[in-house]
Structure 1
Amino acid sequence: MIKAERLIGSRLVDSCRYQHLQRPLNASAAGGSRPILAVVVVWSYDVLDDVAWHRLSHAYGSALDTPRHLRGLTATDAGVRTSALLHLWNSVTHQETHSTATAPVAELVARMLTDHRLGWPAATGEERSTRTELLSYLGHVAAWAARFQAKPNTVNYVRRDDLEADVYDVVWEPENDPDYIVVGRLGSGCVRRADVVIPLLVPWLDAPDPQEHGAALYALACWIGLAGDQVPIPSQALERLTAVATDSTAEPEIRIDCVLALAATGSDTSELLDDASVAIRTCAALSPATATDPRALHVITAALISPVECNQWLRQRPPTPYAEATLSARLVEAALRCTDDFERLLPAALGVAASARPWSIDETWGPLLAAAAPEPPATERPLSAAQRTYLSALAANDTLWRDQQQDRDELLHGLGLPLDRHEIQSLATAH
C-alpha cells in the first residue's frame, strides 16, 4: 500500500506552488468574502450505468471494470480510493497512452468533481484530496492528448464496434482482421469533449483548498491547450490564464503553462515578447496572433539557433500544455507562420539542420526544407543562396544519412531533390 500511495503522489502536479495565485473569480472586490463555487451540474453515479463499457477498452482489455473503480473514488475505505486512482493512471492511461476509455472517463471524472466526498484524502497519510488528484489526472490526460494530436502517425488498434471508433482518423483497415481498424490522432476523443470539460474545471479555480485550485489551473491550461481555438473558452478562464501569465512573481513553470494555453487559443501574447524570461518570450511567440509582430520571428530564431537547449526549457513531468514532443517543433510551425521568405528563416533553419535527427523530419527540418524548396530545382529556376546554404547544412549532418530512411527519401523525391547525400552537396555548391 505504501508503494501505491507514493506512485499516486509522484504523478501529481505540484499544486502547492500555485497556492499564492488564487484570484477568486466570484469574490468581492474587497476580498473579504470566501469564494463560492458555482456548481453548474448535478452529478449522479447512475450515469455510469448508461455507458456500454463492454464496447470500450483500456490497457488491459475491456473497460467493464472501470465503473466499479469510478465509484470507488468516493469510497469510505482509503484503500479502495487508492485502488481506484491507480486504475485511472495505470489502466485508463497506461504509460502516458490513451485507450478508447480515456476520453469518456475524463468527461465523467470532470462531471463528478462536485461530489463532496472527493474532498477526502486520496490515500492513507496523503494530504492531497482525491479531487486534487483527479484534477491533476485530467491535466495529464489533456496534455498527452495534445501530443497525440500533433503526431497523427502514432496509431492504435481499435475494434470497429468500439463506442469511440468514429472519433479517430482511420489510417488502415486490415483485411485479415475485419473486426478491427487502425486509427490515428488518438487524442480526438478528448478534443470532442473539451467544450464539456473546460467549463466544469473553471469553478475549481476558486476552490477553498489551495491545492485543488492549483491543480485546477494546471488542468484548465492543459484542456485549453488541447482545444485551442476550436471551442469557446469561458472569459473567466482566459482572464485567470492572462493574470498568471503576466505575473512576473509567479512560478516560472506555472507561467509557462498559462502562456502555452493562451498561445494555443491564438490569444494576443505580444505583451510577453519582451518578457525577462527567455522561455516566456519563446512560448508567447507560438501564438498565431504574434505572427505579424517582427519581434516574434526574432524570438523564435534566437531559440532555434540551439534547438537542443530550447527543448530543455519545458519540463517533461508533469507534461506541459500545447506541446509536441519538443518545443522546437512548435517553434518551426510558428516561424513558418511569420514569413514565407526563406532567407529570413535561414538562421533558424541552420540551427535546426545542425542538430536534426531522422525522426524529426516531420517536426522540424522537413517542413523547413519544404519551405526552402517550394519549386523543384529540376526546373530552370536557380537555387538561391539561402536554399543552397540550407541544403549544404543538411548534407553535412551525418546522422541524417547513416541509414536508409523511407520518410527522408520520400520528402526529397517529392521536392525534386536527389536522394544521395553527395549529390545534394554538389547541388548546393553548384553555381
Structure 2
Amino acid sequence: MINEYEKLLAGLDDVDWASLSHAYQSAEDVPGHLRTLCGNDDEAREQAFKSLFISIFHQGSRYSASPVAVPFLARIAVAGPAAAREDTMWLLTRLAVDWHDEYDVTTGINVTGWRAAAAEVGPEDLLPWFEEQVAAATDADQRAQAQELRDWVAAGNSPDSRWSALQSYDAVLAELPGLLVLLDDADARLRTRIAYLLAWFPEFNATSLPRLLALAAREEDSVTAATALLAAGLVSPVSTVGDITPYLDAADPLMRWAAATALIRLAALDEAPAGPGLLGRAIAELAAAARSPFDRVTDYCDGDLHAHIERTLHSLPPGSDPAIVRETLHACLPRIVWDSSGSRTRRAFEKLFHAPQPHPAPRYADLTAAQQQLLHDLAGHRHAWLIRSSADRLRELGLPHTQEALQSFVGAHRGA
C-alpha cells in the first residue's frame, strides 16, 4: 500500500464487510481489492478491478456491498493512482446505471419512474410477505430457509433488482459534488468519464448543466466536448434549446451530431419547442452522420453510433419528415457495431436478404452495398456470439455462417 493513498480509504476497516454481500456471497474481499487499486502493482491492480467489477456489479446486478463501496471508489477516481482513476470511473458509472440503460436509452433516464417502481418493492413492503412464508413453512428446513430470507429483508434488503440498483445509483448521486473536480482534470479521458456519468443524473441538473455547457464550449478534445454537450441535452429542460442550437453549425460533425441528438430529445419533451425548421435541421444532421460516420465516437449506446441514431429517430414527435427519416433508418440498418439482444441483426437480415442466395454463394462484390456492409460488420464483430446466433439465418441464405468463414468471404471478395 502506498502511504500517499491511505487517506483515500479512511474508514474502510470500520465497515462490517462480512455482513454485506455481492455476487459471490460475502463481501469480505472488497476492502482488499480497494486497497490493491491504490497499490503500485499494475497487474494486481488490473485483477482487483476485474474482481470488483464482476462481484459488486455482476451482469448488471447490484448488491448490498455495491453502494457501500461507492464512496471509496469516488475518492480513488478523484485522487487515486493515475492508472486506477479511469477504470474506477467506469465502475462508478456501471454501479449507477446498468449497461442496458446506457445502450437502450437515448432520451435520458426516467428516475421518477424508477423511484416509483422501486418504492413498491422496498424491504418494508415485502417484509409481510416473507413473514407469511415463514408462518406457512411445513418443515424445519423450509422454515429455516424462509426465516433466513425474512431476516435478510428485515435488515433492509430487497430481492428486486429495481430497488437494489437504485441504492447504488443514489450512492453515486451523493458523490457527484466531489466528482465535479474531474471536469477540470488534465486528463481528457477523465473529463469525458465525468461528463458521461453526469448524463444519467437529471436530479443533479441544477448543478451539472451549467458546468456541462461550459465544458462543451471550452473543450478541445472532440469526444469530450460532444459527450458533455449531449449530457447537457439529456439532463436539461426545454429552455436550453437556445444554448444547444448554435452547435448545429459547429465545424466538427461529431458536435453537430451531439447537438442534433440533444435537440430531438428536447423536441420529444415538448413537441418541437423551437419549431419544425430546427427539428428538420437536426434530423438532417443525423442523416449525414449515418451516411458518413465519424472516426471517433462517444460512449453513448456503447459507442454504437448507428443504433443510437435509430433510437433517436424513433423518439421523434409526430409530423417529422418521413422521407429523410426512412432514408436515415435505411442507412443505419446494416451497421452492427454492438447489438445486445441480436434484434437489430435479425431485423437487418429480414430487410436486406429477402430470399436465399444462389448456390454457390455469390461474390461479395455482387451483393448490394447494404448487404456488403452487414456482412462486413458481422465478419469483424467483437462478439462472436452474435454471429453464432445468426448462423441458422446465414445458412438458410446460402452464406458463410461462422465468423472465420465470413472473414474469408468478405476478405476474398471485397475488391473483386
Query: Structure 1 CA distance, aligned partners of 2:313 and 2:303?
Result: 17
Contact 1:132 1:215 in 2 (8 A): no
2:52 counterpart of 1:66: no
Task: Tell me which residue corresponds to 1:52.
Answer: 19
Query: Structure 2 CA distance, aligned partners of 1:265 and 1:408?
Result: 42
Contact 1:150 1:324 in 2 (8 A): yes
Query: Structure 1 residue 279: deviation in Å?
Result: 0.4
* 1:346-357 equivalence runs, <5 A: 346-353=326-333, 355=335
Query: Structure 1 residue 73: deviation in Å?
Result: 5.7
Task: Tell me which residue corresponds to 1:297.
Answer: 283
Query: Structure 1 CA distance, aligned partners of 2:13 and 2:165?
Result: 22
Contact 1:332 1:363 in 2 (8 A): no
Query: Structure 1 CA distance, aligned partners of 2:339 and 2:60?
Result: 27
Q: Compare relative contact order (CA 8 Å, sep 6+) and give the higher one, 1 or 2.
A: 1
Q: Percent identity?
A: 16
2:334 counterpart of 1:334: no
C-alpha spacing 1:271/1:290, structure 2 compared with 1 (3 Å): farther
2:101 counterpart of 1:149: yes
Letter in 2 for 1:196: A
SS state of the match for residue 298, structure 1?
A: helix
Query: Structure 2 CA distance, aligned partners of 1:52 and 1:299?
Result: 53
Contact 1:290 1:296 in 2 (8 A): no
2:226 counterpart of 1:256: yes
Query: Structure 1 CA distance, aligned partners of 2:297 and 2:162?
Result: 21
Query: Structure 1 residue 91: deviation in Å?
Result: 1.0
Task: Tell me which residue corresponds to 1:324.
Answer: 302
C-alpha spacing 1:114/1:366, structure 2 compared with 1 (3 Å): closer
* 1:14-413 equivalence runs, <5 A: 44-45=11-12, 48-49=15-16, 52-53=19-20, 55-57=21-23, 63-71=27-35, 78-79=39-40, 85-93=45-53, 98=58, 107-112=67-72, 129-130=79-80, 135-142=85-92, 146-150=98-102, 192-206=167-181, 210-211=185-186, 217-225=191-199, 227=200, 229=202, 232-247=203-218, 250-265=220-235, 268=241, 269-287=244-262, 288-290=265-267, 292=272, 293-306=279-292, 309-310=293-294, 312-314=295-297, 320=299, 322-338=300-316, 342-353=322-333, 355=335, 362-363=343-344, 366=347, 399=375
Query: Structure 1 residue 328: deviation in Å?
Result: 1.2
Query: Structure 1 CA distance, aligned partners of 2:310 and 2:208?
Result: 28
Task: Tell me which residue corresponds to 1:22.
Answer: none
Query: Structure 1 residue 64: deviation in Å?
Result: 3.1
C-alpha spacing 1:280/1:290, structure 2 compared with 1 (3 Å): farther
- Count of residue pairs the alignment pairs up: 293
Query: Structure 1 residue 130: deviation in Å?
Result: 1.7
- The CA deviation string for residues 277-306 of structure 1, in whole angstroms up to 9 with x for no partner, is 100111222220155322210111111124
Query: Structure 1 CA distance, aligned partners of 2:210 and 2:304?
Result: 27
- The CA deviation string for residues 203-230 of structure 1, in whole angstroms up to 9 with x for no partner, is 3434899558x776444323223x254x
Query: Structure 2 CA distance, aligned partners of 1:273 and 1:264?
Result: 16
Normalising by structure 1, report the TM-score: 0.51
Query: Structure 2 CA distance, aligned partners of 1:138 and 1:100?
Result: 16
C-alpha spacing 1:56/1:68, structure 2 compared with 1 (3 Å): same
Query: Structure 2 CA distance, aligned partners of 1:223 and 1:250?
Result: 19
Unaligned runs of 5+ in 1: 6-41, 120-127, 153-165, 168-178, 180-184, 371-391, 410-418, 422-431
Letter in 2 for 1:251: D
Unaligned runs of 5+ in 2: 3-8, 105-120, 123-144, 146-159, 273-278, 352-367, 380-386, 399-416
Query: Structure 1 CA distance, aligned partners of 2:31 and 2:337?
Result: 43
Normalising by structure 2, report the TM-score: 0.53
Letter in 2 for 1:52: S
Write 1 or 2 for the structure with the bigger share of helix.
2
SS state of the match for residue 238, structure 1?
A: helix
Query: Structure 1 residue 355: deviation in Å?
Result: 4.5
